[in-house]
Amino acid sequence: MTDLASGQSAALVERPGKRERLVGAAIQLLHQQGVERTTLADIAKVADVPPGNVYYYFKAKDDVIVAVVEAHVELIKATLAAIDARHPSPKGRLKAFMREFAAQSEIVAQYGCPLGSLCSEIDKRPPGSRAPVTELMRLPIEWAETQFRALGRRDAHDLAIELLAAYEGTALLANTLSDPSVLSRAARRLDSRIDAL
């Protein structure tokens, strides 16, 4: 397609495929409504996909949940890789990690942490219907541990656990109190603690 004003080719923006739209809608709805209250019909509606088409991609709600967990895992990996690429020092990486969390303060205050909430809800489901959510916490913990270890910390694993626990706990409080500033203030304090290492 040509942009007549500039005479240059304009890139066509393709609409994501049905499966991608369904997964995107599921990510949004599972975060906003929760696992139990979200139906396949809700997901189809938000994805603008005919309800009958959902079953072509996903046989059951559990399959959608697994796809959501996998999408979150890929997003975590991409986010951490981007932080690694942009920041040469371990301290810079850890601080960027905290900025990523703080940037979500409004939505976390409204709906909770997308990862923590999902892990908690899935853990309450019957054993046969649980998606493998361990990666959602393991990946950032291992990444943070690598950063602390690069700073020469022997207690790198404990510091990584404490960092993620501090975020998750603060996210819970921000959501419970409906106050995004709880998360942004905590991120600034954690930033200062990282500087002090």
What span, in angstroms and rounded, lies between the C-alpha atoms of 157 and 148? 8
Q: For residue 49, give the amino acid letter.
A: V
Quote the CA–CA distance of 52 and 75 in Å, as a whole number: 28
Cα 141 to Cα 100: distance, rounded to the nearest angstrom = 15
In order of 79, 88, 133, 152, the CA distances from 82 in angstroms are 5, 11, 22, 23
Domains of the chain in sequence order: 16-59 (1.10.10.60), 73-197 (1.10.357.10)
The per-residue pLDDT for 158 is 97
> What is the pTM for the complete model shown?
0.87
- Please count the helices (runs of H) and the strands (runs of E) in the chain: 10, 2
**Which pLDDT belongs to residue 8?**
46
**Looking at residues 3-8, what average pLDDT do you find?**
42
**Residue 74: pLDDT above 60?**
yes
CA dihedral of residues 116, 118, 123, 124 (deg, nearest 10): 120
pLDDT at 15 over 90: no
Selected residue with higher pLDDT from 19 and 3: 19
Report pLDDT for 9.
42
Measured distance CA(50)–CA(116) in Å, rounded: 31
pLDDT value at position 130? 64
pLDDT digits (tens, 9 = 90+) for 39-57: 999 999 999 999 999 999 9
CB atoms within 10 A of CB 139: 17
pLDDT digit string, tens, across residues 127-169: 766 668 899 999 999 999 999 999 999 999 999 999 999 999 9
pLDDT tens string 168-190: 999 999 999 999 999 999 999 99
**For position 14, what pLDDT does the model report?**
62
